[in-house]
Amino acid sequence: MRLGTSLPVARGFDALVTEIRACTACAQHLPLGPRPIVRGRPSSRLLIISQAPGTRVRETGLSFNDRSGDRLREWLAVDGDTFYDEARVAIMPMGFCYPGRDTQGGDLPPCPECAPR
């Protein structure tokens, strides 16, 4: 989707987020199926780019809702209410869905189909 100059920023952003959340491009590669996770608003002052959501994030739909999120919020010196205020903090993974586990127990990288999107 390309944001045109005729659309107000918030309306174009909402359309983009709706498109991302409806994506099923790599569904055949995902062991738990697609569930794109992205959060934020045009007013967000901080954008956190991550690799891909983990299983707990996929279950809850809440980015960094795990030990890595506890650590990240500690590093940023930000409480949970501030961190999860989409008007302040946007979170966008490089791969929007949980990609599954590799044979050694770690998460797989995002699906290659996601890169062009």
How confident is the model over 90-109, as pLDDT tens digits? 999 888 988 888 888 888 88
Sign of CA dihedral 65, 24, 111, 12: negative
Fold of 9-102: Uracil-DNA Glycosylase, subunit E (3.40.470)
Is residue 85 very low, low, confident or very high in pLDDT (cuts 50, 70, 90)? very high
Say whether pLDDT at 30 is over 70: yes
Say whether pLDDT at 4 is over 70: no
Provide CB contacts within 8 A for 58, sequence distance 6+.
Answer: 32, 35, 37, 97, 98
Rounded to two decimals, what is the model's pTM?
0.80
